[in-house]
Structure 1
Amino acid sequence: MRHSERHRTHRTGWLRAAVLGANDGIVSTASLVLGVAAAGTDSEGVLVAGIAGLVAGAMSMAAGEYVSVSSQADTERADLVREKKELATRPHYEHAELATIYVNRGLDAALASEVATQLMAHDALAAHARDELGISDSLSARPIQAAFASAGTFALGALLPLLTVLLFPPTALLWAVACGSLLSLALLGSLSARVGGATMSTAALRVTFWGALAMALTAGAGALFGVAA
Protein backbone atom coordinates (compact mmCIF):
# COMPACT_ATOMS: atom_id res chain seq x y z
CA MET A 1 0.00 0.00 0.00
CA ARG A 2 1.34 3.42 -0.97
CA HIS A 3 2.07 5.77 1.93
CA SER A 4 0.28 9.04 1.16
CA GLU A 5 1.00 11.05 4.31
CA ARG A 6 3.48 13.91 3.98
CA HIS A 7 5.75 14.47 6.96
CA ARG A 8 8.26 17.28 7.30
CA THR A 9 10.55 16.06 10.08
CA HIS A 10 13.32 15.28 7.58
CA ARG A 11 13.55 19.01 6.83
CA THR A 12 14.35 20.12 10.37
CA GLY A 13 18.15 20.07 9.98
CA TRP A 14 18.56 22.37 7.00
CA LEU A 15 15.34 24.30 7.70
CA ARG A 16 16.50 25.32 11.17
CA ALA A 17 19.87 26.49 9.84
CA ALA A 18 18.29 28.30 6.88
CA VAL A 19 15.70 30.13 8.97
CA LEU A 20 18.31 31.04 11.57
CA GLY A 21 20.63 32.38 8.88
CA ALA A 22 17.97 34.41 7.07
CA ASN A 23 16.57 35.80 10.31
CA ASP A 24 20.01 36.83 11.55
CA GLY A 25 20.88 38.28 8.15
CA ILE A 26 17.87 40.56 8.19
CA VAL A 27 17.96 41.48 11.87
CA SER A 28 21.68 41.98 12.37
CA THR A 29 22.29 43.87 9.12
CA ALA A 30 19.18 46.03 9.48
CA SER A 31 20.10 46.75 13.10
CA LEU A 32 23.64 47.64 12.10
CA VAL A 33 22.41 49.93 9.31
CA LEU A 34 19.90 51.61 11.63
CA GLY A 35 22.45 52.07 14.40
CA VAL A 36 25.07 53.60 12.10
CA ALA A 37 22.49 55.76 10.31
CA ALA A 38 21.00 56.96 13.60
CA ALA A 39 24.49 58.07 14.67
CA GLY A 40 24.51 60.53 11.75
CA THR A 41 26.72 58.60 9.31
CA ASP A 42 26.26 59.40 5.61
CA SER A 43 24.80 56.86 3.16
CA GLU A 44 28.20 55.71 1.91
CA GLY A 45 29.41 54.97 5.41
CA VAL A 46 26.18 53.15 6.22
CA LEU A 47 26.53 51.01 3.09
CA VAL A 48 30.16 50.12 3.86
CA ALA A 49 29.18 49.12 7.40
CA GLY A 50 26.32 47.02 6.06
CA ILE A 51 28.50 45.19 3.53
CA ALA A 52 31.08 44.48 6.22
CA GLY A 53 28.29 43.17 8.42
CA LEU A 54 27.06 40.90 5.64
CA VAL A 55 30.47 39.32 5.01
CA ALA A 56 31.37 39.00 8.68
CA GLY A 57 27.94 37.70 9.62
CA ALA A 58 27.79 35.09 6.86
CA MET A 59 31.21 33.73 7.78
CA SER A 60 30.35 33.78 11.46
CA MET A 61 27.12 31.89 10.82
CA ALA A 62 28.92 29.29 8.69
CA ALA A 63 31.64 28.76 11.26
CA GLY A 64 29.22 28.70 14.18
CA GLU A 65 26.87 26.22 12.54
CA TYR A 66 29.71 23.98 11.40
CA VAL A 67 31.32 23.89 14.85
CA SER A 68 28.09 23.38 16.79
CA VAL A 69 26.65 20.74 14.46
CA SER A 70 30.04 19.00 14.27
CA SER A 71 29.98 18.73 18.06
CA GLN A 72 26.56 17.12 17.81
CA ALA A 73 27.86 14.74 15.13
CA ASP A 74 30.85 13.83 17.31
CA THR A 75 28.53 13.01 20.19
CA GLU A 76 26.34 10.87 17.96
CA ARG A 77 29.36 8.95 16.65
CA ALA A 78 30.67 8.38 20.16
CA ASP A 79 27.29 7.06 21.29
CA LEU A 80 27.14 4.70 18.32
CA VAL A 81 30.63 3.37 19.03
CA ARG A 82 29.67 2.78 22.66
CA GLU A 83 26.42 1.10 21.65
CA LYS A 84 28.24 -1.16 19.18
CA LYS A 85 30.60 -2.33 21.93
CA GLU A 86 27.70 -3.03 24.28
CA LEU A 87 25.93 -5.03 21.59
CA ALA A 88 29.05 -7.12 21.12
CA THR A 89 29.68 -7.71 24.83
CA ARG A 90 26.17 -7.68 26.35
CA PRO A 91 23.65 -8.66 23.65
CA HIS A 92 21.11 -10.09 26.12
CA TYR A 93 21.12 -6.92 28.20
CA GLU A 94 20.72 -4.79 25.09
CA HIS A 95 17.84 -6.99 23.93
CA ALA A 96 16.09 -6.53 27.28
CA GLU A 97 16.72 -2.81 27.13
CA LEU A 98 15.16 -2.52 23.68
CA ALA A 99 12.20 -4.68 24.69
CA THR A 100 11.60 -2.45 27.72
CA ILE A 101 11.46 0.59 25.44
CA TYR A 102 8.71 -1.06 23.39
CA VAL A 103 6.81 -2.09 26.52
CA ASN A 104 6.87 1.53 27.67
CA ARG A 105 5.44 2.50 24.28
CA GLY A 106 2.45 0.22 24.73
CA LEU A 107 3.38 -3.30 23.59
CA ASP A 108 2.90 -6.30 25.87
CA ALA A 109 6.07 -7.97 27.12
CA ALA A 110 5.93 -10.98 24.78
CA LEU A 111 5.36 -8.90 21.66
CA ALA A 112 7.98 -6.34 22.71
CA SER A 113 10.53 -9.12 23.13
CA GLU A 114 9.68 -10.58 19.71
CA VAL A 115 9.91 -7.15 18.03
CA ALA A 116 13.28 -6.53 19.68
CA THR A 117 14.51 -9.95 18.53
CA GLN A 118 13.52 -9.39 14.92
CA LEU A 119 14.83 -5.84 14.72
CA MET A 120 18.16 -6.81 16.26
CA ALA A 121 18.46 -9.73 13.87
CA HIS A 122 17.93 -7.34 10.96
CA ASP A 123 20.20 -4.48 12.17
CA ALA A 124 20.86 -4.31 15.89
CA LEU A 125 22.85 -1.08 15.84
CA ALA A 126 20.28 0.75 13.73
CA ALA A 127 17.47 -0.40 16.02
CA HIS A 128 19.23 0.83 19.15
CA ALA A 129 20.37 4.05 17.48
CA ARG A 130 16.83 4.87 16.46
CA ASP A 131 14.82 3.72 19.47
CA GLU A 132 17.29 4.05 22.35
CA LEU A 133 19.47 6.99 21.27
CA GLY A 134 17.04 8.85 19.00
CA ILE A 135 19.49 8.91 16.08
CA SER A 136 18.19 8.37 12.55
CA ASP A 137 19.39 9.11 9.04
CA SER A 138 16.82 11.88 8.50
CA LEU A 139 17.66 13.67 11.78
CA SER A 140 21.39 13.05 12.04
CA ALA A 141 23.74 16.01 12.25
CA ARG A 142 25.13 17.32 8.92
CA PRO A 143 27.67 20.08 9.64
CA ILE A 144 28.48 21.10 6.06
CA GLN A 145 24.81 21.26 5.05
CA ALA A 146 24.02 23.41 8.08
CA ALA A 147 26.98 25.72 7.46
CA PHE A 148 26.12 26.38 3.81
CA ALA A 149 22.40 26.76 4.48
CA SER A 150 22.98 29.21 7.30
CA ALA A 151 25.64 31.31 5.54
CA GLY A 152 23.75 31.43 2.24
CA THR A 153 20.45 32.49 3.74
CA PHE A 154 22.22 35.02 5.99
CA ALA A 155 23.65 36.70 2.91
CA LEU A 156 20.26 36.71 1.19
CA GLY A 157 18.58 38.16 4.26
CA ALA A 158 21.25 40.85 4.61
CA LEU A 159 20.77 42.02 1.02
CA LEU A 160 17.41 43.65 1.75
CA PRO A 161 18.68 46.36 4.14
CA LEU A 162 21.61 47.02 1.81
CA LEU A 163 19.33 47.44 -1.20
CA THR A 164 17.20 49.81 0.87
CA VAL A 165 20.27 51.96 1.57
CA LEU A 166 20.89 52.19 -2.18
CA LEU A 167 17.29 52.93 -3.16
CA PHE A 168 16.13 55.41 -0.51
CA PRO A 169 17.42 58.89 0.33
CA PRO A 170 19.09 59.49 3.72
CA THR A 171 16.02 61.34 5.03
CA ALA A 172 13.82 58.26 4.61
CA LEU A 173 16.46 55.63 5.35
CA LEU A 174 15.56 54.81 8.95
CA TRP A 175 11.88 54.22 8.29
CA ALA A 176 12.49 52.43 4.99
CA VAL A 177 14.98 49.97 6.50
CA ALA A 178 12.85 49.33 9.58
CA CYS A 179 9.57 48.80 7.71
CA GLY A 180 11.12 46.75 4.91
CA SER A 181 13.00 44.53 7.35
CA LEU A 182 9.95 43.91 9.54
CA LEU A 183 7.91 42.99 6.49
CA SER A 184 10.66 40.60 5.36
CA LEU A 185 10.79 39.02 8.81
CA ALA A 186 7.03 38.47 8.78
CA LEU A 187 7.27 36.84 5.35
CA LEU A 188 10.21 34.70 6.49
CA GLY A 189 8.33 33.50 9.55
CA SER A 190 5.28 32.65 7.46
CA LEU A 191 7.33 30.85 4.80
CA SER A 192 9.33 28.80 7.29
CA ALA A 193 6.13 27.83 9.10
CA ARG A 194 4.51 26.76 5.83
CA VAL A 195 7.53 24.64 4.85
CA GLY A 196 7.62 23.09 8.31
CA GLY A 197 3.84 22.64 8.58
CA ALA A 198 3.45 24.97 11.58
CA THR A 199 1.10 27.90 12.28
CA MET A 200 2.10 30.79 10.00
CA SER A 201 0.73 33.65 12.09
CA THR A 202 2.51 32.53 15.25
CA ALA A 203 5.86 32.17 13.48
CA ALA A 204 5.49 35.54 11.74
CA LEU A 205 4.63 37.33 14.98
CA ARG A 206 7.53 35.68 16.82
CA VAL A 207 10.28 36.69 14.41
CA THR A 208 8.82 40.16 13.83
CA PHE A 209 8.67 40.96 17.54
CA TRP A 210 12.28 40.01 18.24
CA GLY A 211 13.49 41.71 15.08
CA ALA A 212 11.70 44.92 16.00
CA LEU A 213 13.16 44.83 19.50
CA ALA A 214 16.71 44.32 18.20
CA MET A 215 16.43 47.13 15.65
CA ALA A 216 14.88 49.54 18.16
CA LEU A 217 17.62 48.96 20.72
CA THR A 218 20.41 49.28 18.15
CA ALA A 219 18.95 52.43 16.63
CA GLY A 220 18.57 53.89 20.11
CA ALA A 221 22.21 53.13 20.92
CA GLY A 222 23.35 54.69 17.65
CA ALA A 223 21.33 57.83 18.27
CA LEU A 224 22.59 58.10 21.84
CA PHE A 225 26.27 57.78 20.97
CA GLY A 226 25.86 59.89 17.86
CA VAL A 227 24.49 62.74 19.95
CA ALA A 228 27.16 62.22 22.59
CA ALA A 229 29.87 62.46 19.93
Structure 2
Amino acid sequence: MTTDAIDHAPGEHHLVHRTGWLRAAVLGANDGIISVSSLIVGVAAAPGSTASTVLVAGVAALVGGALAMAAGEYVSVSSQADTENADLARESAELERSPVTETRELAAIYEGRGVEPSLAIQVAEQMMAHDALGAHRRDELGLADDGASQPMQAAVSSALAFAAGAILPVIAALAPRSAVLYAVPATALVLLGVLGALGAKAGGAPIGRAMIRVVLLGVLAMGMTALIGAFTGAVV
Protein backbone atom coordinates (compact mmCIF):
# COMPACT_ATOMS: atom_id res chain seq x y z
CA MET A 1 0.00 0.00 0.00
CA THR A 2 1.38 3.37 -0.98
CA THR A 3 1.61 6.42 1.24
CA ASP A 4 -1.06 8.11 -0.86
CA ALA A 5 -3.41 5.18 -0.32
CA ILE A 6 -2.79 5.24 3.42
CA ASP A 7 -3.36 8.99 3.56
CA HIS A 8 -6.55 8.64 1.57
CA ALA A 9 -8.03 5.74 3.53
CA PRO A 10 -9.43 7.75 6.47
CA GLY A 11 -11.36 9.93 4.04
CA GLU A 12 -13.01 7.08 2.15
CA HIS A 13 -16.80 7.25 2.13
CA HIS A 14 -18.79 4.04 1.81
CA LEU A 15 -22.53 3.61 1.53
CA VAL A 16 -22.88 -0.04 2.55
CA HIS A 17 -23.66 0.95 6.15
CA ARG A 18 -26.95 2.37 4.92
CA THR A 19 -28.30 -0.87 3.49
CA GLY A 20 -30.10 -1.98 6.66
CA TRP A 21 -32.27 1.05 7.36
CA LEU A 22 -32.53 1.88 3.66
CA ARG A 23 -33.94 -1.53 2.82
CA ALA A 24 -36.48 -1.35 5.65
CA ALA A 25 -37.64 2.17 4.75
CA VAL A 26 -37.89 1.49 1.01
CA LEU A 27 -39.63 -1.84 1.57
CA GLY A 28 -42.22 -0.33 3.90
CA ALA A 29 -42.98 2.70 1.76
CA ASN A 30 -42.99 0.70 -1.47
CA ASP A 31 -45.37 -1.84 0.04
CA GLY A 32 -47.65 0.95 1.26
CA ILE A 33 -47.79 2.61 -2.14
CA ILE A 34 -48.31 -0.52 -4.24
CA SER A 35 -50.62 -2.54 -2.00
CA VAL A 36 -52.95 0.31 -1.01
CA SER A 37 -53.06 1.83 -4.50
CA SER A 38 -53.71 -1.57 -6.04
CA LEU A 39 -56.54 -2.28 -3.63
CA ILE A 40 -58.13 1.13 -4.29
CA VAL A 41 -57.84 0.64 -8.05
CA GLY A 42 -59.28 -2.87 -7.81
CA VAL A 43 -62.31 -1.70 -5.84
CA ALA A 44 -62.78 1.37 -8.04
CA ALA A 45 -62.70 -0.78 -11.18
CA ALA A 46 -65.55 -2.96 -9.94
CA PRO A 47 -68.88 -2.00 -11.51
CA GLY A 48 -71.22 -0.48 -8.95
CA SER A 49 -68.57 0.63 -6.49
CA THR A 50 -69.18 4.01 -4.90
CA ALA A 51 -66.85 6.80 -3.81
CA SER A 52 -67.39 5.95 -0.15
CA THR A 53 -66.66 2.26 -0.78
CA VAL A 54 -63.40 3.14 -2.50
CA LEU A 55 -62.34 5.51 0.28
CA VAL A 56 -63.20 3.06 3.06
CA ALA A 57 -61.23 0.35 1.27
CA GLY A 58 -58.23 2.66 1.02
CA VAL A 59 -58.31 3.70 4.68
CA ALA A 60 -58.80 0.11 5.81
CA ALA A 61 -55.89 -1.00 3.65
CA LEU A 62 -53.66 1.73 5.09
CA VAL A 63 -54.46 0.92 8.72
CA GLY A 64 -54.49 -2.85 8.28
CA GLY A 65 -51.35 -2.85 6.20
CA ALA A 66 -49.42 -0.67 8.64
CA LEU A 67 -50.43 -2.88 11.57
CA ALA A 68 -49.59 -6.02 9.62
CA MET A 69 -46.16 -4.63 8.77
CA ALA A 70 -45.58 -3.73 12.41
CA ALA A 71 -46.67 -7.14 13.66
CA GLY A 72 -44.64 -9.02 11.07
CA GLU A 73 -41.52 -6.97 11.71
CA TYR A 74 -41.92 -7.30 15.49
CA VAL A 75 -42.21 -11.08 15.31
CA SER A 76 -39.35 -11.36 12.83
CA VAL A 77 -36.93 -9.15 14.74
CA SER A 78 -37.93 -10.70 18.08
CA SER A 79 -37.09 -14.14 16.73
CA GLN A 80 -33.79 -12.82 15.43
CA ALA A 81 -33.01 -11.22 18.81
CA ASP A 82 -33.84 -14.46 20.64
CA THR A 83 -31.49 -16.39 18.38
CA GLU A 84 -28.71 -13.83 18.78
CA ASN A 85 -29.05 -13.80 22.57
CA ALA A 86 -29.01 -17.60 22.73
CA ASP A 87 -25.87 -17.74 20.58
CA LEU A 88 -24.15 -15.08 22.68
CA ALA A 89 -25.05 -16.85 25.93
CA ARG A 90 -23.67 -20.10 24.55
CA GLU A 91 -20.51 -18.38 23.35
CA SER A 92 -20.02 -16.67 26.72
CA ALA A 93 -20.25 -20.02 28.51
CA GLU A 94 -17.73 -21.57 26.11
CA LEU A 95 -15.32 -18.68 26.70
CA GLU A 96 -15.45 -19.25 30.44
CA ARG A 97 -15.13 -23.02 30.11
CA SER A 98 -12.33 -23.26 27.54
CA PRO A 99 -10.69 -19.92 26.66
CA VAL A 100 -7.67 -21.59 25.04
CA THR A 101 -9.86 -23.53 22.63
CA GLU A 102 -11.82 -20.41 21.81
CA THR A 103 -8.59 -18.50 21.14
CA ARG A 104 -7.49 -21.18 18.70
CA GLU A 105 -10.90 -21.11 17.09
CA LEU A 106 -10.60 -17.35 16.59
CA ALA A 107 -7.07 -17.75 15.21
CA ALA A 108 -8.34 -20.35 12.72
CA ILE A 109 -10.92 -17.86 11.48
CA TYR A 110 -8.20 -15.29 10.84
CA GLU A 111 -6.03 -17.89 9.12
CA GLY A 112 -8.94 -18.70 6.85
CA ARG A 113 -8.98 -15.05 5.84
CA GLY A 114 -5.34 -15.13 4.80
CA VAL A 115 -3.47 -14.21 7.99
CA GLU A 116 -0.28 -16.19 8.65
CA PRO A 117 -0.66 -18.72 11.51
CA SER A 118 1.83 -17.06 13.87
CA LEU A 119 0.27 -13.65 13.36
CA ALA A 120 -3.26 -15.07 13.55
CA ILE A 121 -2.67 -16.48 17.03
CA GLN A 122 -1.19 -13.15 18.17
CA VAL A 123 -4.19 -11.25 16.85
CA ALA A 124 -6.57 -13.74 18.43
CA GLU A 125 -4.84 -13.45 21.81
CA GLN A 126 -4.96 -9.65 21.69
CA MET A 127 -8.59 -9.63 20.65
CA MET A 128 -9.45 -12.08 23.44
CA ALA A 129 -7.65 -9.91 25.97
CA HIS A 130 -9.44 -6.77 24.78
CA ASP A 131 -13.00 -8.10 24.33
CA ALA A 132 -13.32 -11.85 23.98
CA LEU A 133 -17.09 -12.00 23.54
CA GLY A 134 -17.07 -9.03 21.17
CA ALA A 135 -14.43 -10.67 18.99
CA HIS A 136 -16.40 -13.91 18.76
CA ARG A 137 -19.61 -11.96 18.22
CA ARG A 138 -18.16 -10.29 15.13
CA ASP A 139 -15.83 -12.90 13.68
CA GLU A 140 -17.42 -16.21 14.62
CA LEU A 141 -21.13 -15.43 14.83
CA GLY A 142 -21.09 -12.65 12.23
CA LEU A 143 -23.17 -10.26 14.35
CA ALA A 144 -22.81 -6.49 14.08
CA ASP A 145 -21.45 -4.32 16.87
CA ASP A 146 -24.33 -1.83 16.74
CA GLY A 147 -26.28 -3.41 19.58
CA ALA A 148 -28.98 -6.02 19.85
CA SER A 149 -31.95 -6.19 17.53
CA GLN A 150 -34.78 -3.90 18.64
CA PRO A 151 -38.19 -5.40 17.78
CA MET A 152 -40.32 -2.44 18.88
CA GLN A 153 -38.21 0.08 16.99
CA ALA A 154 -38.35 -2.08 13.88
CA ALA A 155 -42.13 -2.49 14.21
CA VAL A 156 -42.81 1.23 14.59
CA SER A 157 -40.44 2.14 11.76
CA SER A 158 -42.05 -0.33 9.38
CA ALA A 159 -45.56 0.83 10.23
CA LEU A 160 -44.61 4.48 9.73
CA ALA A 161 -42.86 3.74 6.43
CA PHE A 162 -45.90 1.83 5.16
CA ALA A 163 -48.28 4.62 6.23
CA ALA A 164 -46.06 7.28 4.67
CA GLY A 165 -46.19 5.46 1.35
CA ALA A 166 -49.94 4.77 1.52
CA ILE A 167 -51.29 8.11 2.70
CA LEU A 168 -51.10 10.01 -0.60
CA PRO A 169 -52.86 7.32 -2.67
CA VAL A 170 -55.63 7.35 -0.04
CA ILE A 171 -55.89 11.14 -0.34
CA ALA A 172 -56.00 10.75 -4.12
CA ALA A 173 -58.99 8.44 -3.62
CA LEU A 174 -60.93 11.52 -2.47
CA ALA A 175 -61.09 12.58 -6.12
CA PRO A 176 -64.48 12.38 -7.86
CA ARG A 177 -65.54 8.78 -8.50
CA SER A 178 -64.98 9.14 -12.25
CA ALA A 179 -61.40 10.33 -11.73
CA VAL A 180 -60.22 7.83 -9.09
CA LEU A 181 -58.99 5.30 -11.67
CA TYR A 182 -56.69 7.99 -13.04
CA ALA A 183 -55.76 9.97 -9.94
CA VAL A 184 -54.69 7.04 -7.75
CA PRO A 185 -52.47 5.25 -10.32
CA ALA A 186 -50.89 8.55 -11.38
CA THR A 187 -50.15 9.46 -7.76
CA ALA A 188 -48.79 6.01 -7.03
CA LEU A 189 -46.52 5.92 -10.08
CA VAL A 190 -45.08 9.36 -9.32
CA LEU A 191 -44.44 8.30 -5.72
CA LEU A 192 -42.83 5.04 -6.83
CA GLY A 193 -40.56 6.91 -9.22
CA VAL A 194 -39.52 9.35 -6.49
CA LEU A 195 -39.01 6.52 -4.01
CA GLY A 196 -36.90 4.58 -6.47
CA ALA A 197 -34.77 7.64 -7.20
CA LEU A 198 -34.27 8.47 -3.50
CA GLY A 199 -33.41 4.90 -2.61
CA ALA A 200 -30.92 4.62 -5.45
CA LYS A 201 -29.32 7.97 -4.62
CA ALA A 202 -28.98 7.11 -0.92
CA GLY A 203 -27.46 3.76 -1.80
CA GLY A 204 -25.23 5.07 -4.58
CA ALA A 205 -26.96 2.92 -7.24
CA PRO A 206 -28.05 3.93 -10.78
CA ILE A 207 -31.17 6.08 -10.45
CA GLY A 208 -32.79 5.40 -13.82
CA ARG A 209 -32.82 1.64 -13.46
CA ALA A 210 -34.24 1.82 -9.93
CA MET A 211 -37.04 4.14 -11.04
CA ILE A 212 -37.99 2.01 -14.02
CA ARG A 213 -38.01 -1.15 -11.92
CA VAL A 214 -40.39 0.09 -9.22
CA VAL A 215 -42.67 1.92 -11.67
CA LEU A 216 -43.09 -1.17 -13.86
CA LEU A 217 -43.87 -3.32 -10.83
CA GLY A 218 -46.46 -0.75 -9.75
CA VAL A 219 -48.06 -0.75 -13.19
CA LEU A 220 -48.23 -4.54 -13.15
CA ALA A 221 -49.77 -4.70 -9.67
CA MET A 222 -52.40 -2.03 -10.31
CA GLY A 223 -53.19 -3.38 -13.75
CA MET A 224 -53.80 -6.88 -12.38
CA THR A 225 -56.01 -5.70 -9.53
CA ALA A 226 -57.99 -3.46 -11.87
CA LEU A 227 -58.70 -6.44 -14.13
CA ILE A 228 -59.64 -8.63 -11.18
CA GLY A 229 -61.87 -5.91 -9.72
CA ALA A 230 -63.64 -5.36 -13.03
CA PHE A 231 -64.13 -9.11 -13.61
CA THR A 232 -65.28 -10.07 -10.11
CA GLY A 233 -67.49 -6.98 -9.87
CA ALA A 234 -69.20 -7.91 -13.12
CA VAL A 235 -69.69 -11.53 -12.03
CA VAL A 236 -71.01 -10.65 -8.57
How far off is 1:198 after superposition?
Answer: 2.8
Q: Aligned partners of 1:187, 1:116: CA distance in 2, in Å?
A: 47
> Within the alignment, does 1:172 sit opposite 2:179 as a pair?
yes
Quote the residue 1:91 is aligned against.
Answer: 99
Q: Please give the residue correspondences for 1:124-163 in structure 2 after superposition, counting only pairs within 5 Å.
A: 124-138=132-146, 140-163=148-171
Segment of structure 1 superposing worse, 186-195 or 74-83: 186-195
Quote the residue 1:102 is aligned against.
Answer: 110
CA contact (8 A) 1:29 1:53 kept: yes
Q: Please give the residue correspondences for 1:116-127 in structure 2 after superposition, counting only pairs within 5 Å.
A: 116-127=124-135
Helix, strand or coil: the match of 2:10?
Answer: coil
Quote the residue 1:18 is aligned against.
Answer: 25
> Within the alignment, does 1:218 sit opposite 2:225 as a pair?
yes
The amino acid of 1:211's aligned partner reads G
> Within the alignment, does 1:207 sit opposite 2:214 as a pair?
yes
Segment of structure 1 superposing worse, 15-24 or 148-157: 15-24
Quote the residue 2:88 is aligned against.
Answer: 80
Helix, strand or coil: the match of 1:3?
Answer: helix
Q: Aligned partners of 2:181, 2:124: CA distance in 1, in Å?
A: 62
How far off is 1:8 after superposition?
Answer: 3.5
Q: Aligned partners of 1:77, 1:139: CA distance in 2, in Å?
A: 11
Where structure 1 has 5 or more consecutive residues not aligned to the other structure, the ranges are none
Q: Aligned partners of 1:143, 1:18: CA distance in 2, in Å?
A: 15
How far off is 1:169 after superposition?
Answer: 2.6
Q: Aligned partners of 1:208, 1:140: CA distance in 2, in Å?
A: 35
How far off is 1:73 after superposition?
Answer: 0.9
CA contact (8 A) 2:193 2:215 kept: yes
Where structure 2 has 5 or more consecutive residues not aligned to the other structure, the ranges are 1-6
Question: Aligned to 2:44, which of 7, 18, 37?
Answer: 37
Quote the residue 1:59 is aligned against.
Answer: 67
Quote the residue 2:4 is aligned against.
Answer: none
Q: Aligned partners of 1:139, 1:178: CA distance in 2, in Å?
A: 41
CA contact (8 A) 1:17 1:147 kept: no
Q: Aligned partners of 2:64, 2:208: CA distance in 1, in Å?
A: 31
How far off is 1:137 after superposition?
Answer: 2.5
Two-structure CA RMSD over aligned residues (Å): 1.8
How far off is 1:19 after superposition?
Answer: 1.4
How far off is 1:140 after superposition?
Answer: 4.7
User: CA-to-partner distance for each residue in 1:106-154, whole Å, 9 max, x for gaps?
Assistant: 2111111111110010000000000111112337522122111110011
Helix, strand or coil: the match of 1:111?
Answer: helix
Aligned length: 228
User: CA-to-partner distance for each residue in 1:7-56, whole Å, 9 max, x for gaps?
Assistant: 34443333222212111110111011001001131112101110111111
CA contact (8 A) 1:58 1:154 kept: yes
Q: Aligned partners of 2:148, 2:17: CA distance in 1, in Å?
A: 9
Q: Aligned partners of 1:171, 1:112: CA distance in 2, in Å?
A: 71
Q: Aligned partners of 2:86, 2:212: CA distance in 1, in Å?
A: 39
User: CA-to-partner distance for each residue in 1:167-200, whole Å, 9 max, x for gaps?
Assistant: x332232122112212211211221222223332
TM-score (norm 2): 0.90
